[in-house]
Amino acid sequence: MSTEQVTEQPTGQSANGQAPYAGQLEAPPDTGERWLGILVIAAGCFLLLVGIDRVSGGRITGALNASE
């Protein structure tokens, strides 16, 4: 045996007391909720613009159709 001291941490333990990272975590399966949320937000923005257009007397659609 040598007289050198072992300064290495034992396996499974780190300097701050937490276990080392075990590797990549698996991503949860894609259930489509993200895309449903995007669709709901887009529909809400569309309805907001339609409402603003109706309240303003059709200024938005009038500006879009002014070239005709």
User: How many angstroms from the chain centroid is the CA of residue 18?
Assistant: 28
Q: Inform me whether the pLDDT recorded for 58 exceeds 60.
A: yes
In whole angstroms, what is the distance from residue 8 CA to residue 6 CA? Answer: 6
- pLDDT at residue 1 tops 90: no
In this prediction, residues 51-62 reach a mean pLDDT of 92
Rg, C-alpha atoms of the chain: 30
Q: State the pTM of this model.
A: 0.52
pLDDT given at position 9: 47
Q: Is the separation of the CB atoms in 30 and 24 below 8 Å?
A: no
More confident residue, 9 or 20: 20
E strand residue ranges, 14-64: none
The mean per-residue pLDDT over the stretch 32-48 comes to 95
